[in-house]
Structure 1
Amino acid sequence: MKQFQGFSNQKTHLVPIPEPFFHDLLPIIDHVVEFKVTLYAFWFLDQQEGSLRFIRYQDFLEDKAFLSGLGNSYAVMMKNLNEGLNRSVKRGTFLTAHKDTQDLTEAVYFLNTPHGRAAFTGYQEGAWSPQDKIQSIRRPEAERPNIFQLYETNIGPLTPMMADILQEAEETYSPVWVEDAIRIAVENNVRRWRYIEAILKSWEERGRDEKDRRNAQEDPKKYIDGEFGQYVKF
């Protein structure tokens, strides 16, 4: 099971969800992908402006992070996405004028709210076209894991003493350097902080060029048999 590291303490945008969702809709949703596409639609539509808010089938496809949570292969992802959307339409959560449940590429969805129903009616009557109203959506970027998460995930348990050492390293080196040094240690199977620290100190003293950014497996001897060899076994 992939672990969630928790919500950050950074200021984030809050997505409003109508109260009836929790006591009228949530209790009757009995399919996990239907639940996912419904929540995703709330987030997506909240970023749009004006009264004509909608989400296209293509919008779901363009979010690779969202799709990856629907299955372990592209075929499974698509099957689950289509089933989740069809269930949401049958449930009455989404409104769509698209009738072909097998080919959804041109489908446009509206939430079944007063504004959504008005937009849906105008769409059916040809009063406006989705192609003329497409708005850019800011998709969330994956947060870079902090130094403590990187250490626990890749090196070992985090002790109070190690936490102090990591905090000092975080103040001394750039996050990219620390992440790359940990990656090199993992790829060379030398999961020791002294080894990682030696790499960081070397970069600090001698500078770091693009050559250092190569995958460590392309040049393993540089980090195992060379000056860092003393940290491989101790």
Structure 2
Amino acid sequence: MQPFPGFSDGAPRLVALPSAFFNDLLPLIDDLAELHVTLFCFWAVQQREGRFRYVRHRELAGHAPLQAALATTAPEIDPDESLAAALDRACARRSLLRAEVTIGSAPEMLYFINAEGGRAAHQQVLSGAWRPGDADHPIELLPERPTIYALYEQNIGPLTPMIADALKDAEHDYPQGWIVDAMRVAVERNARSWRFIASVLDRWRREGHTSGHPADQTQTEGQTQTHETAAGSSHERGERRVTDDFSDFIIR
């Protein structure tokens, strides 16, 4: 047995492991090579920057200390075969997730920790939400699009339970792009309310989706006077009339 000389002094770079690793996962791992590979992946993903992190198969196969550990664990087996078997076991146990991508004409396997960030990254790769990166980072994950609930909170107002239910119903009735466009129209018209957004969606359902941008504003003098008179009447009642394409909408 070769003795371990001890950890070096100074400020060592620490590797975070969730408590569930020791309480839930460790009792399940019954193969030493699988344990080596799983621990290495926890270390390797933390060497990357950004929210979405992964380990390349070539990093596993080319890391000399890991290869030495695998060779010590099973001297009679080629380290590459031991690595492949350990990865299969970890993925079958779902402590690791994997996805294959094609960079240029060469396939490459990527591995993710089965945690929140790893699951999100894994799903993005499977759904094709990535683009080629550089040599060190072969894929670049595209930013996640905010949900309509987040967009509402960020641009319209508080997400009350009633508004959340209305948005949920709208998701079933309209394409998501329509809802996003209707919110954009509400912001542009300074009519930040769900009532206005719902009215825009209903009009698009009846008359067809439009860009929501102002139409040709050429009007006759009589038309202008009529609109001004109507706007004045609305103002007297404490109402606000929205102009342009939605000039018949009144916000109370």
Q: TM-score, normalised by structure 1?
A: 0.51
Q: Is the 8 A contact 1:89 1:95 kept in 2?
A: yes
Q: Is the 8 A contact 1:48 1:135 kept in 2?
A: no
The 3 A distance-change label for structure 1 pair 45 and 15 is same
Aligned to 1:168: none
Q: How big is the shift at 1:81? A: 0.7
Q: How big is the shift at 1:134? A: 3.5
The 3 A distance-change label for structure 1 pair 63 and 114 is same
**What are the residue-to-residue correspondences of 1:138-177 with 2, within 5 Å?**
none
Bigger shift: residues 41-50 or 64-73: 64-73
Q: Is the 8 A contact 1:93 1:111 kept in 2?
A: yes
The number of residues matched between the two structures is 131
**What are the residue-to-residue correspondences of 1:43-54 with 2, within 5 Å?**
43-54=43-54
Q: How big is the shift at 1:55? A: 0.4
Aligned to 1:82: 84
The 3 A distance-change label for structure 1 pair 131 and 74 is farther
Structure 2 Cα separation of the partners of residues 112 and 89 of structure 1: 9
Q: How big is the shift at 1:131? A: 4.4
Aligned to 2:16: 16
Structure 1 Cα separation of the partners of residues 76 and 65 of structure 2: 12
Task: Show structure 2 runs of 5+ residues with no match.
Answer: 101-106, 139-252
Aligned to 1:125: 127
Question: Which protein shows a greater Rg?
Answer: 2
The CA RMSD over aligned residues, in Å, is 2.5
Q: Is the 8 A contact 1:53 1:116 kept in 2?
A: yes
The 3 A distance-change label for structure 1 pair 134 and 118 is farther
Structure 1 Cα separation of the partners of residues 95 and 110 of structure 2: 13
Structure 2 Cα separation of the partners of residues 23 and 78 of structure 1: 30
Structure 2 Cα separation of the partners of residues 134 and 74 of structure 1: 33
Structure 2 Cα separation of the partners of residues 123 and 129 of structure 1: 9
Query: 3-state SS of the aligned residue for 2:112?
Result: strand
Q: How big is the shift at 1:10? A: 2.5
Q: How big is the shift at 1:56? A: 1.1
Is 1:56 the counterpart of 2:76? The answer is no
Query: 3-state SS of the aligned residue for 1:71?
Result: helix
Aligned to 1:38: 38
Residue 88 of structure 1 aligns to which amino acid in structure 2?
A
Q: TM-score, normalised by structure 2?
A: 0.48
Aligned to 1:4: 4
Q: How big is the shift at 1:69? A: 1.5
Of all paired residues, the percent bearing the same amino acid is: 36
Structure 1 Cα separation of the partners of residues 89 and 95 of structure 2: 9
Once the two structures are superposed, residues 22-57 of structure 1 have per-residue CA deviations (whole angstroms, 9 ceiling, x without a partner) of: 100001100001001111111111111112200011
Off by >4 Å, runs of 4+ in structure 1: 72-75, 129-133
Structure 2 Cα separation of the partners of residues 130 and 37 of structure 1: 26
Structure 2 Cα separation of the partners of residues 133 and 126 of structure 1: 19
The 3 A distance-change label for structure 1 pair 27 and 132 is same
Once the two structures are superposed, residues 155-205 of structure 1 have per-residue CA deviations (whole angstroms, 9 ceiling, x without a partner) of: xxxxxxxxxxxxxxxxxxxxxxxxxxxxxxxxxxxxxxxxxxxxxxxxxxx
Query: 3-state SS of the aligned residue for 2:48?
Result: coil
Q: Is the 8 A contact 2:90 2:96 kept in 1?
A: yes
From the two aligned structures, give the one with the greater strand fraction. 2
